Structure 1
Amino acid sequence: MTPPSDEIVFYTNPMSRGRIARWMLEEVGRPYRTVVLDFGTTMKAAAYLAINPMGKVPAVTWRGVTVTECAAVCAWLADAFPEAGLAPAFDDPLRGPYLRWMFFAAGPVEAAVTAKSLNLLAPADKAGMAGYGSFEQVVDTLESAVSGEEPWILGERFSAADVYVGSQIGWGLQFGSLPDRPAFRAYAERIFAREAAVRARAIDDALIAAANVAS
């Protein structure tokens, strides 16, 4: 039997949430191959639907395993390559806060921001039925995660949670879907100055520029 490929393959589009996964891959520091897909065509083609039936990016494959959903990709890569130091071990007390904030951003933050952008927030008398409660609660809680004197969500230790949470905050500030609070702005400036974040942006921005020239 042929062993699964040891090559990391990254399926993305530079104008998508794949930018988060790209940053995470750059933080991991392992070589990877990028497959750029187009919305509505190759992203919905049978070959890719066999990898992700949702027909969305990003997706990452390695050694016969496929992972989709940005938070899952970040968490999985951090565990798959522990030498990068991007996730606390299971017996580390920081493991709990790490998972808490990673999936708070993937759950309540994502849901609340999307609902607000679509004018579909739960009415106050139904807030208890929504996983995010209220938009204001979500924003205040997110702010508390990045408001301390220490630079990262886990204090002095940068982790995959910063990649994912930071990306959500960065996009929220860019598109106005989160309020422009000083704590958010200061945190975004710190995380996006990281060398891996700068590299990832440069790669994806170059792909966008090349596509624009080609069109």
Structure 2
Amino acid sequence: MTTPGLTFYTNPKSRGRIVRWMLEETGAPYATEVLEYGTSMKAAPYLAINPMGKVPAIRHGDTVVTECAAICAYLADAFPQAGLAPPAHSAARGPYYRWLFFAAGPLEAAWTNQALGVTVPEERAAMVGYGSFERVLDVLEGAIGAREYLVDDRFSAADVYVGSQLGFGMQFGMIDKRPTFARYWAALEARPAKQRADQLDGAMT
């Protein structure tokens, strides 16, 4: 059986760095297509892949996946030999999905608003879906606690995505460098696959 080809569409100055790390964790071979903002990213060939005109995206055979959390989840299932997701019928699937999409939803929305200086009136807190920025960080800090990894004491795609959000947020001052977050991110950042991904992206900038 032939393994379908895997193509990664990215720009080194984008969220594509998250997917690069995930790809390196899978150990699967892939081709990289680097797109530029405002030109090839908005051109017809790429818009046929992602009409949003943004990266990252992947094409795996005939399957196209966009959005970082979705790509991470897809790759974990597409390459089960890498052990990047709990087994399909494991109880650990619940928290695995929970934290992947907590980071894609409440966490990203909260730190984005924080970075833009958007203040949500207290009486409208329920409307934004995350309540408050501090509540989001407190909940995530409680989930990480003293653990090395988020789910079932094993590294997973959830750590790639959540860790990347925290690392980016702390690097650019959008998320407080709480000791729990700093410890968690330092261990993830030292992973060989993360180091390889950073070297590959760094060589393009």
**TM-score, length-normalised on structure 1?**
0.92
- Deviation readout 1:158-214 (Å, 9 max, x if unpaired): 000000000000001100100110001001100010000000000000111xxxxxx
- Deviation readout 1:86-111 (Å, 9 max, x if unpaired): 01122111110100001000000000
Greater alpha carbon shift after TM alignment, 101-110 vs 150-159: 150-159
On the 8 A contact 1:112/1:121 being kept in 2, the answer is no
- Deviation readout 1:35-84 (Å, 9 max, x if unpaired): 00000100000110000000000000012000000000000000111111
- 2:19 matched residue in structure 1: 21
**CA distance in structure 2 between the partners assigned to 1:121 and 1:191 by the alignment:** 32
Q: By how many angstroms is 1:121 displaced?
A: 3.2
**CA distance in structure 2 between the partners assigned to 1:38 and 1:32 by the alignment:** 19
**CA distance in structure 2 between the partners assigned to 1:115 and 1:100 by the alignment:** 21
Q: Is 1:201 the equivalent of 2:202?
A: no
**CA distance in structure 2 between the partners assigned to 1:171 and 1:187 by the alignment:** 13
- 1:211 matched residue in structure 2: none
Q: Report the count of equivalent residues.
A: 204
Q: Is 1:147 the equivalent of 2:145?
A: yes
* Correspondence for 2:170 among 156, 169, 173: 173
What does 1:79-118 align with in structure 2 at a 5 Å threshold? 79-118=77-116
**CA distance in structure 2 between the partners assigned to 1:98 and 1:157 by the alignment:** 11
Q: By how many angstroms is 1:5 displaced?
A: 7.9
Aligned CA distance change for structure 1 residues 156 and 5 (closer, same or farther; 3 Å): closer
On the 8 A contact 1:19/1:204 being kept in 2, the answer is yes
Q: Is 1:192 the equivalent of 2:194?
A: no
- 1:122 matched residue in structure 2: 120
- 1:67 matched residue in structure 2: 65
Gaps of 5+ in 2: none
On the 8 A contact 2:10/2:56 being kept in 1, the answer is yes
Name the SS of the counterpart of 2:98 in structure 1: helix
Query: What do you get for the CA RMSD once the two structures are aligned?
Result: 1.2
The letter of the residue matching 1:82 is P
**CA distance in structure 2 between the partners assigned to 1:121 and 1:31 by the alignment:** 44
The letter of the residue matching 2:161 is Y
Gaps of 5+ in 1: 209-215
Q: Is 1:51 the equivalent of 2:52?
A: no
Name the SS of the counterpart of 1:207 in structure 2: coil
On the 8 A contact 2:92/2:152 being kept in 1, the answer is no
**CA distance in structure 2 between the partners assigned to 1:184 and 1:141 by the alignment:** 12
**CA distance in structure 2 between the partners assigned to 1:145 and 1:59 by the alignment:** 29
Name the SS of the counterpart of 1:35 in structure 2: strand
Percent sequence identity over aligned pairs: 58
**CA distance in structure 2 between the partners assigned to 1:171 and 1:121 by the alignment:** 21
Name the SS of the counterpart of 1:9 in structure 2: strand
